[in-house]
Amino acid sequence: MDADYTDKNPALGALYRAHLKTITARHDRALEQAGAGHAVIYSGNPRLAFLDDYHHPFKPNPHFVAWLPLTELPYSYIVYTPGATPVLVYYQPHDYWHVVPGAPDGYWTNHFDVRIVHSTEDVAAHLPEDREKCIAIGEFDDETLACGIERINPTTAVNILHFSRGVKTEYELAVMRLASGRGVAGHRAAEAAFRDGRAEFDIHRAYCKAVSHTDAELPYRNIVALNQHGAVLHYTDLDREAPGALHSFLIDAGAQVHGYASDITRTYSSGDARFQALVDRMEQQELAIVDKVQAGVDYRALHVEAHRMLADVLVEAELATGDADALVATGVTSAFFPHGLGHLLGIQVHEVGGHQRDETGGIIAPPSGHPFLRLTRVLEKDMVLTIEPGLYVIDMLLEKLRGTQAQSHVNWSAVEWLRPFGGIRIEDNVRVLDGGRENLTRDAFAAAS
Ligand code: GLY
Ligand code: MN
Ligand code: MN
């Protein structure tokens, strides 16, 4: 049976009440810290292109999405007062230019006091009268949309909400499993299109069809990279023509369900046995790091460990010589692997709060020499994060090694060999458990095969 991605899905409905309990408890703490009585969470609004009357794709406020599976409901507000049923001011304009949100209907409706408004001017009447007791959470392009609330996104409150969102509820985990399954369906279709010799553009279209997303619905722009394009970390160009000679395929693409993302990367060889062996070795490395994920582990240590493991791979593949410590210390591994090992995942692909020390907002900096690491926290049960080690030929970075101590460690002729293949990245989405982990991505691939 096809997966049910709708907000009528009974399995999600059964988990939603407990999810709301967690969300309200977080807001209780946030309000207490901020010394406020009501939280007003704005869904956001589409933005116009400069000098134009077309809108950029609408991106909802992640704070709003944490409450409700409604990602296409601009100009709407949740009003939360501890102890009271939350109010949802549901904006349903009289608009014959666009499709407007339909009648509220889903497993969430019973948990809200839904008030339909047809004009933004009618919102204010549904907010608590004493605006000084309110905090507003969201992005307000036009201050009238804050309806007279002056305390917007107070750091005391948002630090609590950002930090706590790192840990997922059972409901969120169920939604993210669906997002993983959806993304895997796209990956399988994309691999088939690659094996068929299709152009990047056509592979991308096969992916979008399989996940049933428009480009705007994807959680991030697909990276569909044939051959050397795999070395461009955020390659999003989509060549319309298939290359004359096919070497490799790197695809980093996700899907979403109710605003929660998957973020999956796979790399394939088109037949070259030496490159396939290197992909296999990188996959072993990736799985070995995944196997270290569990509650209590410092993610910074995993990132550093990934560099040591990559050093071993580079030596085995004869891309470099020397011991692991030297290859890390001289910057060889960083030239081949210049991004972080991964990040928190959820409503945002790079979920906020990855550097936060605790709910008060202190920062844990990335280790020196690794500024791009987006997650520096100690892992807690039910965090969801990515593990995505990589290995690329990025000439701009490798050239910087010339004339340094690192130069003699690099086997430059092997680099020449690898260049046409671009690079390798393998990325899984992993839930942290006490003494273990759940690999959402591998489970979804296993269920699909
Ligand atoms: N797809 C973006 C990332 O892997 O972080
Ligand atoms: Mn990622
Ligand atoms: Mn990715």
Q: In this predicted model, what pLDDT tens digit does every residue of 109-126 receive, in sequence order?
A: 999 999 999 999 999 999
Residue 53 has pLDDT above 90, yes or no: yes
**CATH superfamily placement of domain 3-164:** Creatinase/prolidase N-terminal domain (3.40.350.10)
pLDDT of residue 317: 98
Predicted confidence band at 82 (pLDDT cuts at 50, 70, 90)? very high
Pick the atom of ligand 1 nearest to 253's CA: 1
pLDDT of residue 361: 87
Pairwise CA distance, residues 161 & 173, whole Å: 18
> pLDDT for 93-114, tens place per residue?
999 999 999 999 999 999 999 9
> pLDDT for 367-392, tens place per residue?
999 999 999 999 999 999 999 999 99
Pick the atom of ligand 1 nearest to 223's CA: 1
pLDDT of residue 116: 98
Residue to mutate, 251, 252, 348, ligand 1, most ligand atoms under 8 Å from C-beta? 252
Pick the atom of ligand 1 nearest to 252's CA: 1
- Is the CB of 263 inside a 6 Å radius of any atom of ligand 1? yes
For the chain, the structural domain boundaries read 3-164, 170-448
Residue to mutate, 386, 424, 425, 426, ligand 1, most ligand atoms under 8 Å from C-beta? 386
> pLDDT for 333-356, tens place per residue?
999 999 999 999 999 999 999 999
pLDDT of residue 1: 62
Q: Is 3.90.230.10 the CATH classification of the domain at 170-448?
A: yes
Percent share of the chain, pLDDT over 70: 100
Predicted confidence band at 295 (pLDDT cuts at 50, 70, 90)? very high
Question: What average pLDDT does the chain have?
Answer: 97
Percent share of the chain, pLDDT over 90: 98
Q: What is the mean pLDDT of residues 122-147?
A: 96
Query: What residue owns the CA closest to ligand 1's atom 4?
Result: 263
